[in-house]
Amino acid sequence: MFKKILVANRGEIACRVMRTAKAMGIKTVAVYSDADARSPHVLMADESVRLGPAPAADSYLKAELILLAAKETGADCIHPGYGFLSERESFARACAEAGIAFVGPPPAAIAAMGDKIESKKLAKAAGVNVVPGYLGKIDSTDHAVEIAGGIGYPVMMKASAGGGGKGMRLAYSEQDVREGFEATKREGLASFGDDRVFIEKFIESPRHIEIQLIGDQHGNIVYLNERECSIQRRHQKVVEEAPSPFVTPAMRKAMGEQAVALAQAVGYYSAGTVELIVSGADTTGEGFYFLEMNTRLQVEHPVTEEITGLDLVELMIRVAAGEPLGFAQDEVKLNGWSIENRVYAEDPYRGFLPSIGRLVRYNPPLPSAPAQAGAQGSERNSRDPGFLPAQEHGVRVRVDDGVREGGEVSMFYDPMIAKLITWAPTREAAIAAQIAALDAFELEGPGNNIDFLSAIMQHPRFQSGALTTEFIAEEYPDGFHGAPADAGLLKTLAAVAAFAATAEADRARRIDGQLGKRLRPPADWSVTIDKIDHAVTVSTDGIMVDGEDLDLSLEYTPGDRMVVADGHGVDGDEHLTIRIAKARAGFKLTTRGASHVVRVLPARVAPYTAHMIEKVAPDLSKFLICPMPGLLVRLDVAAGDKVEAGQPLAVVEAMKMENILRAEKTGTVKSVAAKTGDSLAVDQVILELD
C-alpha cells in the first residue's frame, strides 16, 4: 500500500480524499494557490506545497508543478480529485514515467473517453445506444447552422472536451446557433484548451441518469447502480439522488451492462461514470442513450456510497495499488435512498448570479455519527464527520465541504460551497431529512441557494419523481422568489415573531437606569408577514393568532440565531427550525425555502403605519448594470448606437461561464463606462441608454 498521497485538487474533494487516506494510514500532501493558503484542505494535510498565483491556469492546472511537488515531498501516488487537471492523459503518463502512481484510469482510457466525439464512436462500436448527431469537424458558424438544420431542432452544441456544464448551448432555431456557436467554442477553449464543438439531437423530456463503475487492474469491472441527476440549471447539476425513481431493475441491468461493455472495450479500471440521456416519455425502458464517460470521481459520488456502503475513494486507491476489487456484481448492494444537494455561492433571488465574498457565518447542520463502512469493512475515525456511510435503519446526514467560517469564496474557482447528503430507508424520508437539514444550515456572506434547494425538495413534482432536465426552467420560468408558504406556516411564523418581539421588549425593560417604572412588555402585537396582518397575543397561557390558540413549544433569547418550534401549530410538522435575524421593525425569518421579512409592532402602534410615506425605488432601466463580479469579455455596442429590447449588449465571464447581457428596452446608447478586459464589480454601470 502507498505511504504518501498528494491530492492534486482543492476544496471539499481534497478534504474528502484526505479523510479516507488518513483512515487508511496514508500520509497526505496538499497543493495550493495563493488564494487557498489557509484553506481547510491545506490545514488538514500532513504537508503542503504552494503552486502559484490564484488563477487555476497559473497553479492547479500546471501539471509540471504538481509533479515537482510530489517528488519534493516523496509522495508515491497522486489523486486528481475531480480531475482539476485538464490534460489528465498526459499527466497520467508523466506520473508513470516519474514512478508515481496515478489514482485513476490508464492514460489510453482517459484519451479514448476524454474526447466526446471519439468516445461516441467507440460507444457505438461497443454496442452502446448513442444519440443521433454530427461527430465530424465543424468549420464555421454557417457549417454549424447547416448541420443543425439537417439533424432537426432542437439541437445541443457541446465543447468536445467539456464537462461540468461548461461549453454547452441549446439551440431551438438558426438564430440560437448563430448566437451560441462561437460562445461555445470560446468556453471550450477557455476552460479546457480545446475549441472543437459537436452537435447532437436534443432529447425532449430528457432525464439525466448515470451509471457508476469501478474496475480493477485484473479485468474485473462492476456497475454500482445508477444516479438520477436531472435537476440541473444551465446544464450544471444541482440535485442528485440514488437510485433513480424512474429506473426499473430491468432498465438498471441493461444500462449497467452497456456501461461495463464500454469500459471493457477501452481497458478501463478505477472509478468512472457513464452518463446517459434518457427519454422520460419512453415507458419501455429502452430509450436511453450514451452521452459521455467521465474518467474520474464525480461530485455526486456520495449518494452511491450511501446506498452501497462502499468508499469509492478507498477503492480507487486500492485499485491503483494493484489490489483486486474483492467483490462481484451480484454482491453490490442497493440499500435505501440517498439525496445530495449542492450548496452554491449564487443568488437565486437575482437570477442565480454568482456571488463571492467572505463566509461571515458558516455553520452547517451537524452530521450523523459515523459508522462501519459497508462492504469494505474499513473502520472510520469516530471523530471524523466527513464520511457517513449508510446504515440499515434510521436517517443519516452527511456534509462534504472544504470551507470554514471566515473563509473566502473566490471568483477564481467553482462556486460550490458544500454538499449536503441525506440517507434514509425510503425516498420520502430522505427528502424530509434534506428539508430539515437545509432549515438548520447557517450561511451568511455570499448569496447562496439554500432556500432554492429547500423549495425543490418540497415541490410536488420533485416529490412525485416526475423529473426532467428542464425541471427548473419549467417550474421557475420567471425566476425564484421563495418557496410558497401556506396559511398554517405563516401563522406559525407570526407567532414566532411575536414571541421573539416579546422577549426583546422584556430584555429592554430590564436595562438599568431608566426613568420611571419598568413597563411590562406588550402582550398584543400586530404582525405583518407577506403583506398579511395577523393579530397575535402572547401570554403565560400560550400564543393566540387571529383568535386561534396555537399549541406551540418554543424558546428564544435575544441574540439567538435559531428558533426551534414544536407542536401542532406548525401546520402538521412536529419540528420546525427557523433562522432568525433582527430587521427594521421586526425580524427576518428563514425556513422551508423562503425568507420572510416580518414587521412586528405593538397592536396600539400598528394603525399609525398607514400614514407613513412609501419610498419609491429609482428607475435604473436606462443603465446596463453588471449583475455579478466578472470580466467584460465583449462589448457589442458603442455610444450613439440604437438598440432594441432583448438585443445582446455585452458578455461578462464569471467563474468560467459567459453571461450575455441584453437591453431591457429600446433606446440609443448615450455613453459607455467600461471597456473590454475590465474587471467589473457587482452593480457597476457598463453603459447608459437615452
Point out the residues that are catalytic. 292
Structure-block grid coordinates of residue 30: 496538499
DSSP string of 257-304, one letter each residue: HHHHHHHHHTT--EEEEEEEEEETT-TTS--EEEEEEE-S--TTHHHH
Distances in whole angstroms, Cα of residue 244 to Cα of each of 10, 54, 229, 250, 531: 30, 38, 9, 13, 40
CA distance 536 to 545: 5
DSSP labels, 302-357: HHHHHHH---HHHHHHHHHTT------GGG----SEEEEEEEESEEGGGTTEE--E
Give the separation between CA 614 and CA 423, rounded to whole angstroms. Answer: 48
Single-letter amino acid code for the residue at 117: I
- Per the CB < 8 A criterion, the answer to whether 151 and 201 are in contact is yes
Write out the three cell numbers for 269.
479500471
Handedness of CA 604, 606, 608, 610 (dihedral sign): negative
In what side-by-side order are the strands of the sheet with 27-33? 47-52, 27-33, 4-7, 77-79, 101-102
Q: Which residues pair with 595 in a beta bridge?
A: 590
Return d(Cα 73, Cα 63) in angstroms, integer: 16
- Written as one letter, the residue type at 166 is K
Please state whether beta strands 586-591 and 648-654 pair in parallel, antiparallel, or not at all (unpaired).
Answer: unpaired
Residue 385 dihedral angles phi and psi, to the nearest 5°? -85, 0
Q: Do β-strands 416-424 and 221-233 pair in parallel, antiparallel, or remain unpaired?
A: unpaired
Strand arrangement of the beta sheet that strand 337-344 belongs to:
288-294, 270-279, 206-215, 221-233, 236-242, 337-344, 416-424, 396-401
- Residue 687 has a CB neighbour count (10 Å cut-off) of 24
Calpha distance 202→577 (Å, rounded): 42
Tell me the β-bridge partners of 170: 156
Q: List residues bridging with 31 in a β-sheet.
A: 49
As a whole number of angstroms, the longest Cα–Cα distance in the chain is 90
Rounded to the nearest 5 degrees, what angle is found at the Cα of 255, between the Cα atoms of 252 and 259? 135
Cell representation of residue 118: 471519439
Grid cell locating 375: 462492504
Distances (CA, A) of 234 to 61, 471, 542, 659, 666: 24, 11, 48, 11, 27
Give every CB contact of residue 5 below 8 A, 6+ residues apart in sequence: 17, 21, 26, 27, 28, 29, 75, 76, 77, 78, 79, 103, 317
Alpha helix positions (H), 5-58? 11-23, 40-44
At 662 the three-state DSSP class reads strand
220-to-119, 378, 430 alpha-carbon distances in Å: 21, 21, 32
